[in-house]
Amino acid sequence: MDFLEVNELKTYFFTRRGILKAVDGVSFKVKEGETFGLVGESGCGKTMTALSIMRLVPEPGGRIVGGEILLQGENLVKKNGKEMRKIRGSKISMILQDPMMSLNPVFTIGNQLTEAIKIHIGLKGQSLWDRAKKILQMVHIPSPEVCLKNWPHQLSGGMRQRVVGAISISCEPRLLIADEPTTSLDATIQIQYLRLLQELQNQAGLSLIFITHDFGIIARMCQRAAVMYAGKIVEIANVKELFDHPAHPYTQALMKSVPKVEERVERLASIQGQPPLLHHLPPGCIFAPRCGSEKRKCQLNEYPPSIEIKNGHWVSCWRYH
């Protein structure tokens, strides 16, 4: 069963230079208990897709101008601010990239962790603090009683990231969005944190959207993944199919640019050119100016519609039409 369904989502920013199409017609589904990956280079629209699902698009410049975000059949786009505040934390939650930016430096860890529990669950007194300690134990923080009294600057980067994870699951949401949560962590702590997320997902039966630019994390964490480029999803497939048979030229180029330990090469592969400006996209296929196999049809005004080339493997490329 599909827990989340995003249909033709469009999030635009209205600037002096023009309309910036940060998310332009994105569609995907996330099943119950599934880990779904969003992968692509910086600036492709991954984080803005997540913020759109959370209804946290920066205003007044940014607006969701089209599409649907169906959470268990409810369209979040039509919810007002008060209704969304009830949904955030209790049904959907998000782990942001930088834990130091996510935590308020003038409040203790305990104050920040208990705030959401008070609002969504209504606990008070000793039962509130007992639940806070239990949540910190779930994310393997030693001495939770001490941690609750600490300030964010007193914790290491890995501990802060665990606290952010604790806050995000404190009210037992059904969908967790993890936006590059391991970016600021070293390699050893990264592996520990990924294991922790998998453990939490198994315990709570969470659906998880994992946003990253690291194909290694996609291979480790996800069942299915979508590749984004310039505000659009260019390919969706299960992870094994995506790695074994990448179909879109952009996905193929990304795979080639990842160095392989067993191969010795003089020069690493790279993708020619630069991503397009989102307020001045090229006509037709947005990847055509950087694609080595571009055809005349790619330069037409029509963007290639998504087509299913195998069971569950969708790609937006004219070579398959």
pLDDT in single tens digits along all 321 residues of the chain? 678 999 999 999 999 888 999 999 999 999 998 999 999 888 899 999 999 999 999 888 899 999 999 999 899 999 999 999 999 988 999 988 777 778 899 999 999 999 888 888 888 889 999 999 998 988 888 899 999 999 999 998 888 888 988 888 888 899 999 998 887 777 777 888 888 888 888 888 889 999 998 888 899 899 999 999 999 999 999 999 999 999 999 999 888 887 777 777 777 777 888 888 888 888 888 898 888 666 667 766 788 899 999 999 999 998 887
My answer on whether omega of the bond before 60 falls inside 30° of 0, hence cis, is yes
Using an 8 Å Cβ cutoff, are 234 and 45 in contact?
no
User: How many structural domains does the chain have?
Assistant: 1
Instruction: Give the H or E element holding residue 118.
Output: helix 109-120
Q: Report the C-alpha gap between 120 and 172 in whole angstroms.
A: 10
Report the Cα–Cα distance between both ends of the chain, in Å, rounded: 30
Using an 8 Å Cβ cutoff, are 15 and 42 in contact?
no
* Residue 175: inside a domain: no
pTM of the model: 0.90
Amino acid at 124: K
Domain with 233, as residue range(s), is 1-81+213-259+269-284
Q: Report the C-alpha gap between 54 and 292 in whole angstroms.
A: 37
Chain centroid offset of residue 14 CA: 23
CA distances for 156 relative to 151, 187, 209, angstroms: 11, 15, 25
Q: Which two tokens stand for residue 46?
A: 């991954």
* Residue 142: inside a domain: no
Q: Report the C-alpha gap between 60 and 10 in whole angstroms.
A: 16
The values of phi and psi at residue 297, to 5°, are: -65, -25
Domain CATH number, residue 236: 3.40.50.300
* Residue 198: inside a domain: no
| pLDDT score recorded for residue 303 | 87
Q: Report the C-alpha gap between 261 and 248 in whole angstroms.
A: 24
* Residue 241: inside a domain: yes
* Residue 250: inside a domain: yes
* Residue 170: inside a domain: no
* Residue 61: inside a domain: yes
* Residue 160: inside a domain: no
> Which residue, 143, 107, 114, 148, is CA-closest to 131?
114
Q: Which two tokens stand for residue 36?
A: 């779904």
